[in-house]
């Protein structure tokens, strides 16, 4: 790595920039990014960056599993049908078919890599989750994401053509002639700038959960990939559709998800008076689509003036529960909750963005040589609401398809301006971040209305103005991260205010019906304008 030159100007530093080159630059170290990197390493040099530790990714915390057709009573047709049903009229049928056909092969690859999934003799032991008409969830107890992530990390670290940079954050994409040629990156630990030039840049930077006051996501999920792509001119799609998971362990810190598979095993949701309520709202009860369960759980909490509801799984045998859900059992014990004897206090929380960077089934975006995979991408698969356990499967499928398409080549370069860097105490930034999270939860959450959305936009713009004053003086990863959060929050609020109907995860009080004749289409947004397709 070349030496850098820096000169001091007061408390600031202006750095000359380290320059690096690679065939494939992967931004993000979740399951989608790691799996792509491993597959692409056979076609060229891969440089993978992550703003935290290698394993600290959203998918590491995934409990449920991967949806795929392995059951004798299941079929590709059934999986497609269930995906379309969950998507509430907006899922891409072609993408759903690709996923259903290719998912089994991707899961078998993981097994060969050493991931130990639960088995029943020689077959996968399959569980069922909401909206699935069949048991088709392949899982590794209740720590599926962790098991997959650990296996991929182990393989990536051994690969000779993969270089991994932890604690490095992409702050902008480098473009030239309507083509992405790499990314400018901050090395967080030593506060240096690196310009990475790449023939192919792959965004696998995860979701946006931390825009909200309550979320199941780790604190790295701040919408960075979506913000990077938008500023570079990429088209975004379906940004109004945010999935709220009905059952986060109430008041858990760090946030802890109570997997939907408990409801698949027969757990009942009960209000603060101990009464089960989902059957009166939907014929599928606890296994209704997630948006329905989250919304009516919110309704029950307001009716009973409670801050949480309860999940009751005490009817199952205690030995079975401990074996099937060891992680959930142990985590709840930390909060003095024995799930074999007590109901679990839970509440809805922001979980997953169904929209994102518009991409096709190979991850190709509207910018040449820029690709998006995993949660930051929107292939159209999820539509207005994601089918449970389709997300990791999608990241694996699209990443594998992309790796087969790409190859190394001539790396273009571009001279960039120097920027000023400095360390900023995080007090002001943390306060602004918490303000944004409260705004998003209160006004752009499970139930939305005109007044709330307009208020959110006004308040976000005021915080942006305050941040611009700080940014004039200095730039670091915390400032860029907050800037990303504000931008993505504003885009979500704009998209939500534009879609004047209720569909999937988007519930608009003034327009509480679904209007297919007008709104069975996608909302596209880029820097210049937004439009419907």
Give the global pTM. Answer: 0.93
DSSP-derived secondary structure for 288-337: S-HHHHHHHHHHHHHHTT-S-EEEE-TTS-HHHHHHH-HHHHHHHHHTT-
Strands (E), 51-167: 66-67, 119-120, 123-124, 126-127, 137-138, 162-165
* HEC assignment per residue over 391-407: HHHHHHHHHHHHHHHCC
Q: Which CATH architecture has domain 245-349?
A: Alpha-Beta Complex (3.90)
What pLDDT score does 7 carry?
Answer: 36
CA distance linking residue 145 with residue 375, whole number of Å = 14
Residue reference for tokens 């392995």: 70
Of 290, 324, 401, 448, which is the active-site residue? 290
Under DSSP, the state recorded for 376 is G
Instruction: Choose which CATH entry (3.40.50.970, 3.40.50.300, 3.80.10.10, 1.20.58.100) describes domain 423-521.
Output: 1.20.58.100
Domain extents in the chain? 245-349, 423-521
What pLDDT score does 424 carry?
Answer: 60
Do the domains 245-349 and 423-521 sit in the same CATH topology, yes or no? no
Active site residue 290: yes
CA distance linking residue 219 with residue 281, whole number of Å = 33
Low-confidence stretches of the chain (pLDDT < 70) are: 1-16, 408-409, 422-426, 473, 530-533
CA distance linking residue 366 with residue 318, whole number of Å = 52
CA distance linking residue 437 with residue 445, whole number of Å = 10
């Amino acid at each position: 790595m070349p030496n850098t030159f820096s000169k001091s100007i007061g408390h600031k530093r202006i750095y000359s920039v380290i320059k690096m080159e690679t065939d494939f630059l992967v931004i993000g170290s979740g399951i989608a990014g790691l799996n792509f990197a491993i597959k692409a390493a056979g076609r060229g040099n891969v440089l993978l960056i992550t703003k935290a530790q290698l394993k600290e990714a959203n998918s590491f915390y995934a409990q449920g599993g991967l949806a795929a057709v392995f059951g004798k009573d299941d079929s590709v047709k059934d999986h497609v049908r269930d995906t379309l049903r969950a998507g509430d009229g907006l899922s891409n049928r072609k993408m759903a078919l690709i996923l259903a056909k290719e998912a089994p092969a991707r899961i078998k690859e993981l097994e060969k890599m050493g991931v130990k999934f639960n088995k029943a003799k020689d077959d996968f032991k399959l569980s069922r989750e909401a909206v699935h008409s069949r048991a088709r969830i392949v899982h590794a107890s209740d720590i599926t994401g962790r098991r997959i992530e650990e296996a991929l990390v182990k393989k990536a670290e051994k690969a000779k053509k993969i270089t991994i940079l932890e604690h490095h954050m992409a702050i902008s994409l480098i473009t030239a002639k309507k083509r992405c040629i790499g990314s400018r990156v901050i090395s967080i630990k030593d506060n240096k700038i690196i310009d990475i030039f790449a023939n192919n840049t792959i965004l696998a930077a995860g979701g946006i959960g931390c825009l909200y006051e309550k979320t199941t996501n780790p604190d790295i999920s701040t919408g960075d990939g979506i913000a990077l792509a938008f500023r570079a001119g990429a088209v975004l799609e379906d940004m109004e559709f945010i999935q709220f998971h009905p059952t986060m362990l109430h008041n858990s810190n760090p946030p802890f998800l109570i997997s939907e598979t408990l409801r698949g095993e027969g757990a009942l949701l009960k209000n603060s008076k101990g009464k089960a309520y989902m059957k009166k709202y939907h014929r599928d009860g606890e296994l209704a689509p997630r948006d329905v369960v989250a919304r009516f759980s919110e309704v029950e909490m307001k009716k009973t003036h409670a801050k949480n509801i309860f999940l009751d799984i005490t009817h199952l045998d205690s030995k079975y529960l401990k074996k099937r859900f060891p992680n959930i059992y142990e985590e709840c014990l930390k909060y003095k909750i024995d799930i074999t004897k007590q109901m679990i206090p839970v509440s809805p929380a922001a979980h997953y963005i169904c929209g994102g960077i518009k991409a096709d089934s190979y991850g190709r975006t509207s910018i040449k040589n820029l690709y998006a995979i995993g949660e930051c991408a929107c292939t159209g698969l999820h539509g207005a609401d994601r089918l449970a356990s389709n997300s990791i499967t999608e990241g694996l499928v699209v990443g594998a398809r992309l790796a087969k398409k790409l190859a190394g080549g001539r790396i273009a370069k571009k001279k960039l301006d120097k920027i000023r860097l400095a360390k900023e105490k995080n007090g002001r930034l943390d306060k602004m971040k918490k303000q944004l999270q409260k705004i998003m939860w209160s006004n752009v959450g499970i139930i939305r209305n005109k007044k709330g959305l307009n208020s959110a936009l006004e308040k976000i713009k005021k915080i942006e103005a305050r941040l611009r004053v700080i940014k004039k003086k200095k730039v670091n990863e915390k400032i860029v991260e907050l800037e990303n959060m504000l931008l993505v929050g504003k885009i979500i609020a704009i998209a939500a205010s534009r879609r004047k109907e209720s569909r999937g995860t988007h519930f608009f009080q003034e327009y509480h019906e679904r209007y297919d004749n007008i709104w069975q289409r996608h909302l596209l947004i880029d820097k210049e304008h937004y439009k419907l397709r």
